[in-house]
């Protein structure tokens, strides 16, 4: 060993070089670390921002204005024969009863136009609610009951302060005389905001005060459940096959590129495909969770396949060798050893894929999901809409009352999302490990 080299030259010590640059390197390190922290903080800030924005706009929708009026429930009008049969009671003219109650409370209103305005104080859905109330408690018949009647959306907006009472009358939807009535009712304590159960139990409606999220929620539930059921096993199965078993050649390269490319296909094109294939060829009924789930499955598959493949790639080969070495079959190796290690990544794919599917509207446009469907779906083949579509439709509705309901619907969607993710996130945490 005759050659003198930096490695054996004690006069040029490493530590000097290290120390010379250490400050710079440490500064870099700190910068990098701060950048990372800032990135996370920024991300979290965005979430917080969006959440506060949504909650600030939407929380009022969980309350709904009601008007308390003494309602005369004459037996002669409701159940003249005293049969007590629900059918008879249901057929009574509750609209008339409510109108009479309004007239009785505001006897000074006589002009035909004014009366019309007065009647519009309560929702068109109020008679039905009154009917349900009477049906639930037939003892009310023959009495004069103080009943909380559902207020019209305009009244609701005034009470919630979304319509400025100080504006000139011409710029307000709620005219002066209606304002006067509201103020009188308020001073009598006959107007109150109560928890908005309708929002959670009803399907959609053109009247904001009657509009509920139940239909879309059920639609989303059926759609997403089926999507998950289809896309996760298919995605993971395809990923395992392609990553671990398929011969590595031009064909599989093509498939890989192809799957990556599918991810870049605009989601509406999947709608076109669904329209042509599922509805056109296979005759799957339009506007149903079934066809939506099929389309969304195709849409989320690339996400799940790509992330699953990345997860499989990052499992060290030595684990596979170890399993094969004791005589496990390739499939056993996959399912017993590789899959548990790759599962966190696969679940991540599922989480963001499903999140995307939950929030997607464009492909549903083509398969008839942008629809007005009042009834809450009870299965995979009932006509249905989903939450994002409902949000889209409400956001596009002229009525002011839908603004807060849109935000509230978004809150419901987010709650749905969080619940859906929670299971996956917990599962993922169980399987995460470093080696």
The answer to whether 273 and 203 have CB atoms below 8 angstroms apart is no
168-197 residues in contact with another protein (CB under 8 A) are 170-173
Compute the least distance from the CB of residue 108 to another protein, in Å. Answer: 21
Nearer to another protein, 43 or 80 (CB): 43
Using CB under 8 A as the binding rule, whether residue 364 contacts another protein is answered as: no
Alpha helices in 59-175 (DSSP H): 75-78, 86-90, 94-105, 112-119, 126-136, 153-159
Distance (Å, rounded) from C-alpha 34 to C-alpha 51?
Answer: 25
With CB under 8 A as the contact rule, which of the stretches 74-82, 137-145, 181-189, 399-407 interacts with another protein? 399-407
Separation of alpha carbons 87 and 317, rounded Å: 72
When the beta carbons of 173 and 184 are compared against another protein, the nearer one is 173
Q: Segment 136-155, which members bind another protein (CB under 8 A)?
A: none
Residue 390 contacts residue 213 (beta carbons within 8 Å): yes
Residue 250 touches another protein, criterion: CB under 8 A? no
Give the x-and-dash track for 270-299 against another protein (CB under 8 A).
x-xx--xx----xx--xx----------x-
Q: Which residues pair with 65 in a beta bridge?
A: 193
Nearer Cβ to another protein, position 190 or 348? 348
Closer residue to another protein (CB): 141 or 351: 351
Residue closer to another protein (CB basis): 32 or 195: 32
**Residues of span 304-363 touching another protein by CB under 8 A:** 305-307, 309-311, 313-332, 336-337, 341, 344-345, 348-349, 351-352, 354-356, 358-359, 361-362
Name residue, tokens 């849109």.
Answer: 406
Nearer to another protein, 72 or 365 (CB): 365
Q: Which of 174, 196, 179 is nearest to 62 (CA)?
A: 196
Nearer to another protein, 89 or 374 (CB): 374
- What does the radius of gyration of the chain's CA atoms come to, in whole angstroms? 32
CB of 283 to another protein, least distance (A): 8
Q: Each residue of 57-90: b (16+ CB within 10 Å) or e?
A: bbebbbbbbbbebebebeeeebbeeeeeeeeebe
**Do 299 and 360 form a contact (C-beta atoms < 8 A)?**
yes
Smaller CB separation from another protein, 189 or 327:
327
Residue 217 φ then ψ, to 5°: -65, -45
CB-nearer residue toward another protein: 106 or 394: 394
Which string of x and - marks every residue 69-88 that binds another protein (by CB under 8 A)? --------------------
Side-chain half-sphere CA neighbours of 410 within 13 A: 20
Q: Are 126 and 98 in contact (CB under 8 A)?
A: yes
CB burial of 270-291 (b: ≥16 within 10 Å; e: otherwise) equals bbbbbbeebbeeeebebbbbbb
Contact code string over 376-395 relative to another protein, x by CB under 8 A: -------x---xx--xxx-x
Q: What angle do CA 65, 71, 77 make, to 5 degrees?
A: 130
CA distance 199 to 217: 11
Query: For another protein, which is the closer residue by CB, 63 or 205?
Result: 205
- Asked if 262 interacts with another protein (CB under 8 A), we say yes
423 counts as binding another protein under rule CB under 8 A: no
Taking the least distance from each CB to another protein, the nearer of 142 and 359 is 359
Q: Which of residues 98-127 bind another protein (CB under 8 A)?
A: 116, 120, 124-125
Find the angle CA(306)-CA(311)-CA(316) to the nearest 5 degrees.
140
Count of alpha carbons within 13 Å of 131, Cβ hemisphere only? 17
By CB under 8 A, the residues from 209 to 238 that bind another protein are: 233-235, 237-238
The minimum distance between CB 12 and another protein, in angstroms, equals 8
> Minimum Å distance from CB 184 to another protein?
23
CB of 105 to another protein, least distance (A): 22
Cα distance between residue 179 and residue 384, in whole Å: 38
264 touches another protein by CB under 8 A: yes
Sheet holding 63-72, edge to edge: 144-150, 63-72, 191-195
Instruction: Write down the least CB distance from residue 144 to another protein, Å.
Output: 26
Taking the complex as a whole, the smallest distance from the CB of residue 134 to another protein amounts, in Å, to 17
Binding mask 12-41 for another protein (x = CB under 8 A): -xxx-xxxxxx--xx-xx--xx-xxxxxx-
Q: Show the tokens assigned to 315.
A: 């499992």
- Count residues contacting another protein (CB under 8 A)? 168
């Amino acid at each position: 060993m005759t050659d003198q080299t930096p490695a054996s030259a004690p006069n040029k010590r490493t530590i000097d070089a290290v120390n010379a640059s250490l400050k710079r390197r440490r500064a870099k390190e700190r910068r990098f670390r701060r950048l990372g922290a800032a990135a996370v903080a920024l991300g979290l800030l965005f979430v917080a921002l969006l959440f506060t924005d949504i909650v600030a706009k939407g929380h009022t929708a969980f309350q709904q204005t009601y008007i308390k009026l003494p309602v005369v429930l004459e037996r002669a009008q409701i159940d003249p024969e005293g049969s007590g049969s629900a059918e008879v009671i249901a057929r009574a003219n509750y609209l008339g009863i409510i109108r009479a109650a309004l007239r009785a409370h505001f006897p000074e209103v006589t002009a035909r136009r004014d009366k019309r305005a007065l009647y519009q104080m309560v929702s068109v859905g109020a008679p039905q609610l009154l009917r349900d109330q009477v049906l639930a408690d037939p003892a009310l018949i023959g009495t004069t009951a103080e009943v909380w009647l559902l207020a019209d959306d305009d009244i609701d907006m005034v009470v919630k302060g979304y319509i400025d009472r100080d504006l000139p009358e011409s710029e307000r939807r709620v005219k002066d005389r209606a304002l006067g009535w509201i103020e009188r009712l308020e001073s009598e304590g006959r107007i109150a905001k109560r928890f908005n159960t309708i929002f959670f139990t009803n399907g959609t409606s053109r009247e904001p005060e009657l509009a509920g999220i139940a239909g879309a929620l059920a639609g989303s539930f059926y759609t997403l459940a089926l999507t998950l059921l289809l896309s996760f096993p298919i995605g993971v199965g395809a990923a395992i096959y392609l990553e671990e078993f398929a011969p590595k050649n031009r064909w599989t390269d093509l498939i890989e590129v192809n799957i990556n490319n599918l991810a870049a296909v605009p989601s509406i094109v999947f709608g076109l495909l669904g329209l042509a294939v599922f509805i056109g060829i296979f005759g799957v009924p339009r506007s149903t969770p079934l066809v939506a789930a099929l389309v969304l499955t195709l849409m989320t598959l690339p996400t799940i396949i790509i992330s699953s493949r990345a997860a499989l790639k990052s499992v060290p080969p030595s684990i596979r060798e170890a399993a094969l070495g004791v005589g496990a079959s390739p499939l056993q190796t996959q399912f017993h050893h590789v899959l548990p290690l790759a599962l966190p990544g696969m679940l991540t794919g599922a989480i963001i894929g499903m999140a995307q599917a939950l929030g997607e509207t464009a492909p549903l446009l083509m398969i008839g999901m942008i629809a007005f469907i009042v009834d809450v779906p009870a299965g995979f083949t009932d006509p249905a809409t989903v939450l994002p579509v409902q949000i889209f439709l409400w956001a596009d509705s002229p009525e002011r009352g839908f603004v807060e309901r849109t935000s509230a619907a978004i809150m419901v969607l987010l709650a749905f999302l969080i619940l859906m993710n929670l299971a996956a996130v917990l599962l993922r945490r169980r399987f995460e490990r470093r080696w």
